[in-house]
């Protein structure tokens, strides 16, 4: 089984805010500190979950909004 390379997409320049976040992340990395801008979310789902439908919904969201893939 061979895998196909991912389709190429435009690479956009960083916004000033993204440049600042990158600067701080790299600066803190050199000091072995944790990234103060790291955001993690945890969702708890109640009831029966169809993993295939959930995966398809998440993929549709990413396909529709390229900025969420960044």
- pLDDT score for 29: 65
pLDDT of 6 reads 65
For the chain, state the CA radius of gyration: 17
Q: Where are the alpha helices (DSSP H) in the chain?
A: 16-30, 51-64
- Residues 18-65: tens digit of each pLDDT: 899 888 888 876 666 666 777 778 888 899 999 999 999 999 999 998
User: In which region does residue 10 sit, left (phi positive, over 0), alpha (psi from -120 to 50) or beta (all else)?
Assistant: beta
The candidate with the shortest Cα–Cα distance to 67, out of 22, 11, 5, 6, is 11
Q: Report pLDDT for 67.
A: 79
What confidence score (pLDDT) does residue 1 get? Answer: 57
Instruction: Examine the pLDDT at 5 and tell me if it is beyond 70.
Output: no
């Amino acid at each position: 089984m061979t895998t196909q390379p991912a389709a190429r997409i435009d690479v956009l320049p960083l916004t000033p805010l993204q440049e600042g976040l990158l600067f701080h992340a790299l600066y803190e990395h050199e000091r072995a500190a944790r990234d103060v801008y790291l955001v993690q979310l945890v969702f708890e789902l109640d009831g029966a979950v169809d993993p295939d439908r959930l995966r398809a919904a998440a993929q549709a969201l990413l396909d529709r909004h390229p900025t969420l893939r960044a």
